[in-house]
Amino acid sequence: MTSQEIRQSFLDFFASKDHKIVSSAPMVIKDDPTLMFTNAGMNQFKNIILGNDPIKYPRVANSQKCLRVSGKHNDLEEVGHDTYHHTMFEMLGNWSFGDYFKKEAIAWAWEYLTEVVKIDKDRLYVTIFEGAPEEGLERDEEAYEIWKQYVPENRIINGNKHDNFWEMGDTGPCGPCSEIHVDIRPDSERVKVDALELVNQDHPLVIEIWNNVFMQYNRKADGSLTTLPAKVIDTGMGFERLCMTLQDKTSNYDTDIFQPIIQEIGKISGKKYGEDEKVDITMRVIADHVRTIAFSIADGQLPSNAKAGYVIRRILRRAVRYGYTFLNMHEAFMCKLIDVLSEVMGDAYPELLAQKSLIEKVIKEEEEAFLRTLEHGIKLLDKNLSEMKAKGKTVLDGHVAFTLYDTFGFPLDLTELILRENGMTVDLDGFKIEMEQQKQRARNAAAMETTDWVVLKEGETRFVGYDSLETESELLRYRKVTQKNKSYYQLVFAETPFYAEMGGQVGDKGQIISGDETIDIFDTKNENNLTVHLANKLPKELDVHFVLTVNKELRKATIRNHSATHLMHEALREVLGMHVEQKGSYVSPESLRFDFSHFQKMTQEEIRQVERLTNQKIRENFPLDEFRNIPIAEAKEMGAMALFGEKYGETVRVVRFGSSTELCGGTHVQATGEIGMLRILSESSIAAGIRRIEAITGHAVEKMMDLQQDTLANVRELFNNTPDLTKAIQRSLDENAELRKQVESFMQKQISELKEKLLANAREENGVKVIRFQSDFAAETIKTLVFQINNTFSEQIKNVDSDSQSLMVVIGGLHEGKPSLTVLLSKDLVDKGYSAVNLVREGAKHIQGGGGGQPFFATAGGKNPAGLAQAIESIKLA
RNA sequence: GGGGGAUUAGCUCAUCUGGCUAGAGCGUUUGACUGGCAGUCAAAAGGUGACCGGUUCGAGUCCGGUAUUCUCCA
């Protein structure tokens, strides 16, 4: 069977058992603070399991793309070194939400594996939860009894809490699970060692392929467990492992999912898979990572230096680093793999094909940037190496290695490699200590504590903010959140006009009022589909009616920006072409930000055109045409633009202004005329193939225009209201440059003349030529004068057989009321042990100051102009 | 969200602990050698040292803030 056929057989099987087949959710998660990526098939059903969302279909199955690269499940460093770890993988799963439970789940899992894809029964082993007395949990006898009907008892293995009790997080639904393992060793091996001893022992050929989780408990913040009212079945089968098993391979990377990519890497690098262990590891790393990166970009997550984007960047860099070291790839190469990847997976995941050119560009740019980082790091390391060699050291300080890594992004293993080539090592312990401190700092900063929800009334929030900005409601639940010694409260109401941050639009601010108590709501967020109001204090009385009022001014400014974003999006497509697609959006009361795909800088003219077109749409005063609950298919028929990487429900909201039609949950103006006017402030690049526009609307445009007009008027006035301001300024600048040059050359001439005069009039004191002079030049000018005197004098004594070889110059300066002293000694005086620094300090006493410099040249400043003349005279060679 | 770094000539970067009128390589311009080009040699132009404020006799260098950017951790 091909991988394509295997995926389909799973979905067909569960469809035949009355399951609704749903599509894969995006890998990047947007509205859950506890999770950045989809790391299990159940993520998209989390809100159903938590009871925040209603159950639409009690039985569901799908194939979900997952990423395990951060947090609790982090396999990143394993990937490539063995044959079965991945960053991205596909998870085949079936779910029951309060419908069937252990009996059916086990029966169907067995049926699918043994009858549909026909895995040899003798090669299958199962585990069940052995119990955990310290938590008051008993052995999962129920699962044991069911399994007994299918599997010989000796192949049902007890598993501990770590392997066989599944928890979603620190709190929330959890329960025992039952794993199915398969032994795919050759018969010769199977005779020697019983697979029973190898289950869960990280043997590459005795592997878990399917985990069936029976969620029946809920863990609270204090660690205690309660029984879940609606029990949930959550299963996950590793698609890549299943393919390996069914295709008679011993490595996931030998299946038809990865081999085409590995072959292509071989072609590009000129190396062969299967000859050298290090090359093989590298090829597996690259084949795995390129999938992750490509799919992330397709889901709208670009590499960046923070959060989810940073994780993607790090994965890409890991691949580049391996390629750099073991395949000798010193220029971008991963971008060349997208062709073959599209061939392998494009059919199942069309987003890959649709976004192909963007993916290639982004990867290429990222690769090149990292290669530059590597080059920079190698330079820095070289510098350290030569210092170490000079000192005879052979161990690089841990903190140096850490700085290279932490500050300059230079990978530790490369540092080690380069040192090894030079017969040196790294102080790894020192490195680890620094790393631990860094992690501790970050942990402390991010530490967040939440109490359990205090539930006053069950229920869901009804959002009324599309139609009104004020409503009366009651509190459903609340909890306290503490972060960095600051705490605030999260409040959930039965009904609210507050818009929670979503789809780029910021959350509303406002107030809640009960009786004579008014509490400020400083932000509104969406958490696991609950609208959460953030307040600094808890109302005194909880079981009363509250009036919830949104800050009208801010909300109105926000909706102007949001609606304007839609109009501008359409205008961009009209001006630049249909390749323009939204890649990100941020809408606040102050301004709007819109990121979109486009491959070059917009010209001034294009920006103007977009502005004009948008403003024209604003003036048309299109009324808001809103469809709150229409099926997604119908919405698409209306021409609504759906975004890649967005998760849409069955029914969606469509917002239409004239011909601009978008899927959008945000709040908008009643008619476009309310926007007033749009002005683009900037257009810039944020990544390869992605541009960003920042713009303002309404009142903000007015304010900006006022400011600009005022500035212009002021400037014009400065130029006597000349009709051609640009020309006047240009002329003034030219004139300024010309005068500057003239003044400079005039000063040069002055200084030169003064120099000659001073040298000629120099007195002789004890065989030393001495120049004493007071001027009102600036310090910089005096410096020039003194150095010129010195230069000329050096020339003179070289050419002429002068009596005196020694020179001392003392200049007093009085510039802008501040006295200064400058002393210069010729080289021979310095050699004799005189120091200009000592002399100038001695003299500076008269002007109440201090100073310093070098032995041949020193300056000082002071506060007492009256003592200047005395100071000049006082300086004498002792 | 937190930590660390960077910002100096058109580009890539020096300038150790505050003080040798801020330097190098590449690039640009000019000149010389050559029939011309390539090349070599010589010279020149090019800097508000990101921005704002402070400490100091003196700040590119120290301190604080802002902006941009890189990087690590979560």
- The distance (Å) linking the CA of A378 with the C1' of B13 is 15
**Rg value, chain A, Cα:** 37
* Within A 176-205, residues with CB less than 7 Å from strand B: none
Dump strand ranges (E) for A9-79: 20-21, 59-67, 69-70, 73-74
User: Using the CB atom, is residue A315 less than 7 Å from strand B?
Assistant: no
User: Using the CB atom, is residue A317 less than 7 Å from strand B?
Assistant: yes
- The distance (Å) linking the CA of A859 with the C1' of B22 is 19
Q: What is the mean pLDDT of residues A868-878?
A: 87
User: Using the CB atom, is residue A694 less than 7 Å from strand B?
Assistant: no
Q: Which pLDDT score is estimated for A546?
A: 95
Residue nearest to nucleotide B5 (CA to C1'): A407
| A485 pLDDT higher than 70 | no
Segment among A224-233, A579-588, A644-653, A678-687 with least mean pLDDT: A644-653
User: Using the CB atom, is residue A121 less than 7 Å from strand B?
Assistant: no
* Residue that has been written with the tokens 């004191």 in this structure: A765
Is residue A167 within a helix (H) or strand (E), and if so which, with residue range?
Answer: strand A165-167
Q: Which pLDDT score is estimated for A177?
A: 94
Q: Which pLDDT score is estimated for A260?
A: 96
User: Using the CB atom, is residue A71 less than 7 Å from strand B?
Assistant: yes
Nearest nucleotide from residue A313 CA, by C1' atom: B71
Cα-Cα-Cα-Cα torsion A39, A42, A48, A52, nearest 10 degrees, comes to -20
How far is the C-alpha of A228 from the C-alpha of A592, rounded, in Å?
44
Q: Which pLDDT score is estimated for A31?
A: 67
Positive or negative CA dihedral for A182, A185, A187, A193? negative
The secondary structure of A288-319 as a DSSP string is: HHHHHHHHHHHTT----SSHHHHHHHHHHHHH
Nearest nucleotide from residue A851 CA, by C1' atom: B57
User: Using the CB atom, is residue A403 less than 7 Å from strand B?
Assistant: yes
Nearest nucleotide from residue A844 CA, by C1' atom: B57
| A33 pLDDT higher than 70 | no
Nearest nucleotide from residue A484 CA, by C1' atom: B1
Are the C-beta atoms of A110 and A149 separated by less than 8 Å?
no
- For helices A239-246 and A3-15, give the axis angle rounded to 10 degrees: 110
Nearest nucleotide from residue A741 CA, by C1' atom: B45
Chain B: positions less than 7 Å from a protein CB are 1-5, 13, 19-21, 56-58, 70-74
- The distance (Å) linking the CA of A305 with the C1' of B67 is 18
Q: What is the mean pLDDT of residues A40-68?
A: 88
Q: What is the mean pLDDT of residues A503-516?
A: 89
Number of separate helices (H) and strands (E) present in chain A:
25, 36
Q: How confident is the model at residue A73 (pLDDT cuts 50, 70, 90)?
A: low
| A765 pLDDT higher than 80 | yes
Extract the tokens encoding A494: 């039965």
Q: Which pLDDT score is estimated for A804?
A: 60
Q: What is the mean pLDDT of residues A670-676?
A: 96
Q: Which of A12-26, A501-515, A583-597 has the highest mean pLDDT?
A: A12-26
- The distance (Å) linking the CA of A765 with the C1' of B32 is 49
Are the C-beta atoms of A601 and A685 separated by less than 8 Å?
yes
Q: How confident is the model at residue A802 (pLDDT cuts 50, 70, 90)?
A: low
How far is the C-alpha of A330 from the C-alpha of A334, rounded, in Å?
11
Q: Which pLDDT score is estimated for A732?
A: 74
* Residue that has been written with the tokens 């789809």 in this structure: A503
How far is the C-alpha of A830 from the C-alpha of A484, rounded, in Å?
60
User: Using the CB atom, is residue A578 less than 7 Å from strand B?
Assistant: no
Q: What is the DSSP letter of A509?
A: -
> Residues near A128 by Cβ (< 8 Å), separated by ≥ 6?
A139, A140, A143, A144, A147, A156, A157, A158, A159, A164, A176, A178
- The distance (Å) linking the CA of A854 with the C1' of B24 is 24
User: Using the CB atom, is residue A518 less than 7 Å from strand B?
Assistant: no
- The distance (Å) linking the CA of A818 with the C1' of B47 is 28
User: Using the CB atom, is residue A859 less than 7 Å from strand B?
Assistant: yes
Q: Which pLDDT score is estimated for A645?
A: 65
How far is the C-alpha of A575 from the C-alpha of A568, rounded, in Å?
10
Q: What is the pTM of this model?
A: 0.79
User: Using the CB atom, is residue A169 less than 7 Å from strand B?
Assistant: no
User: Using the CB atom, is residue A851 less than 7 Å from strand B?
Assistant: yes
A650 or A697: which carries more pLDDT confidence?
Answer: A697
Segment among A43-57, A202-216, A329-343 with least mean pLDDT: A43-57
User: Using the CB atom, is residue A861 less than 7 Å from strand B?
Assistant: yes
The secondary structure of A203-216 as a DSSP string is: -TTEEEEEEEEEEE
**ipTM of predicted assembly, 2 dp:** 0.82
